[in-house]
Amino acid sequence: MEANVELATREEIQENSKWDLSGLYTADAAWQREFKELEEEAKGYAKYQGTLGTSTATLKACLEFDLNVSRKLEKLYVYAHLRNDEDKTNAEHQGNFEKIVRSATRISQARSFIQSELMSIPESRIQQFLQDKELEFYRYHLERILRFRKHTLSEKEEALLASSGEMARAAREGFDMLDNADLKLGVVKDENGQEVTITHGNFQSLLQNYDRRVRQEAFAAHYSAYEAHQYTYASLLASSIKKDMFYARAKGYPSVREQALFEENIPVAVYDNLIAAVHKKLPALYKYFDIRKRLLELDALHVYDTSVPLVKDMRWHLSYDEAALKITEALQPLGTDYTGTVKKGLLEERWVDRYESKGKRSGAYSSGCYDSNPFILMNYREDNINSLYTLAHEAGHSMHTYYSRTNQPYLYADYTIFVAEVASTFNEALMTRYLLGQDIDHNMKIYLLCREIDNFRGTLYRQTMFAEFEHLIYQAAENDEPLTVESFKSIYSGLLKLYFGEGVVLDDCLPLECFRIPHFYFSFYVYKYATGISAAYALADRVSHGGKQELDDYLNFLKSGGSKYPIELLKGAGVDMTSPEPVDTALGKFSELVDQLESLTA
């Protein structure tokens, strides 16, 4: 671990290490001009109100107007949120982001009549509209909207709900500011006695430190920060849950979970089957923990011992540029067009904001809009192999976006979240195949094998645990049970005991982990990581062992955007997520990897 170094400011980061947003706006002044233009243009919604059932021509004109406004809003929003995430303490960028969020709320309110008016058109008439060639391009779009007929309120009620959008973001934004700007995670002395300030960016590296004292003290300091604010975190999470329940009940859904799954036409059984399948394969996870305890020669295995590499003195160091080239080589099975675009994006066209800096948002993501390149936020660290995998993961998202927007019109370019993690996890699978296929020694094989196991553990097992936690806390809230610090911690503690088993010591502070997961503010999202890795590994095997047809099927999936429901898109690529087979296959792969590790380390 490096000595404690003050984080660089945004201005101190080299220009070629920042994303290039000039394709969106060359200056903030240009953004301000387009913002004012959009505010004025959005007033045009009023002329369509009350007219949608009069003719197909009127309906088509309204849909075209709505798409045009949405496209401009998306561009403005993406620029503002990217600039805001560069430095959460920058008041100007924060102000612009708040402006566009408020504008989005007003536009949502102004356009809220569209859905309710569509629903009020008599069934026979709307069916005539759908058969009209003038609306042929919009047919699937309209059919998706009409699915929500029984969950659509009156025009006035829809407008009222839409106007509450800005207020509804309060819990999420409160968490975001507390977790990224205000929270101080403490200081720990590294193995050389030098002080290191703990950040979201280096916490995982500290847990991979071979000095157990460093891991233990970093773990304790990190969770002490959350303990000091646990009542605030619990209040924010409870508020987010209550907000979701309000909208679900207002729309007539039986539960928040059913609302979330209905939006992508995902059967509830997919969620329940995932949890049930993972429960059956928990013994393989327990076996891995036993192997880890043996190899680390520990009397007791704590959670802060579960990330350190099992091969001692196997240091990792890879510059960002080297990582980008390695990713390009690993993705060769996807063809030269794919890898050529990845290389340009990561190294030449500055899709990526590479390094951690003061005030910058933690974590990583891929973003962008129809009229821009994809953009990747990273907090890249040269000493952590997870940074290589994270970059490969986000490049998968970005390439999915790139192919969708290149091959689909704006209306159908956005793919749903259910398939969003497939391309990213697919890239990680190819990354491991590539590294294990190199001429490496015995210890490096163990190192990479553990990395693959830990990827499964973090994505399939851990995200399923998160998904089960979400289901339980929403279920408790919907049954009018109290949402308190203790109730959250109690539910989470029970799941920790189930998923870690008796072979791992669970420190008293560990249930506080439930308060630091940002995805819980995007209800019923995390299960898609687990279904995503299952689909991704099935497709990676299919492409790696197949020929041109299998590759074309996968690339066509990437190019399809949101032109079909996600279950159908995956079926076209060669995997059926309504069956238990993909999840069972992924869990079987995990068991095989654990057996291989046991054999290599016997």
Note the pLDDT tens digit of each residue in 475-509.
Answer: 999 999 999 999 999 999 999 999 999 999 999 99
Instruction: Inform me whether the pLDDT recorded for 3 exceeds 50.
Output: no
Q: What is the CATH number of the domain that holds 79?
A: 1.20.140.70
Residue 353 phi, psi (nearest 5): -95, 110
Question: Which residue out of 117, 394, 421, 470 is catalytically annotated?
Answer: 394
8 vs 28: CA distance, rounded Å: 23
Q: Give pLDDT, residue 205.
A: 86
Specify the amino acid at residue 495: L
Q: Give pLDDT, residue 118.
A: 93
DSSP assignment string, 341-364: HHHIIIIIS--EE-S--TTPPPS-
CB 356 within 8 A of CB 378: no
Tell me the two tokens of residue 259.
């609302």
Radius of gyration of the chain (CA): 24
Does 445 fall in a domain?
no
Percentage, residues of the chain above pLDDT 90: 80
Does 242 fall in a domain?
no
Note the pLDDT tens digit of each residue in 283-336.
Answer: 999 999 999 999 999 999 999 999 988 887 767 889 999 999 999 999 999 999
Does 118 fall in a domain?
yes
Does 357 fall in a domain?
no
Higher-confidence position of 204 and 222 = 222
Instruction: Inform me whether the pLDDT recorded for 1 exceeds 80.
Output: no
Does 85 fall in a domain?
yes
Domains contained in the chain, number: 1
Q: Residue 481 catalytic?
A: no
Domain that holds residue 35: 10-168
Q: How far apart are the first and last CA of the chain?
A: 30
Q: Give pLDDT, residue 5.
A: 60
136 vs 115: CA distance, rounded Å: 18
Q: Give pLDDT, residue 310.
A: 87
pLDDT band per the 50, 70, 90 thresholds, residue 181: confident
Cβ-in-10-Å burial (0-12, 13-18, 19+) of 545 comes to exposed
Does 235 fall in a domain?
no
Does 35 fall in a domain?
yes
Does 241 fall in a domain?
no
Instruction: Inform me whether the pLDDT recorded for 2 exceeds 70.
Output: no
Percentage, residues of the chain above pLDDT 70: 99
How confident is the prediction for the chain on average, in pLDDT?
93
Distances (CA, A) of 235 to 232, 371, 472, 488: 5, 38, 17, 11
Looking at residues 8-35, what average pLDDT do you find?
Answer: 94
Residue 255 CB partners (closer than 8 Å, separation 6+): 248, 474, 475, 478
Model's pTM, two decimal places? 0.79
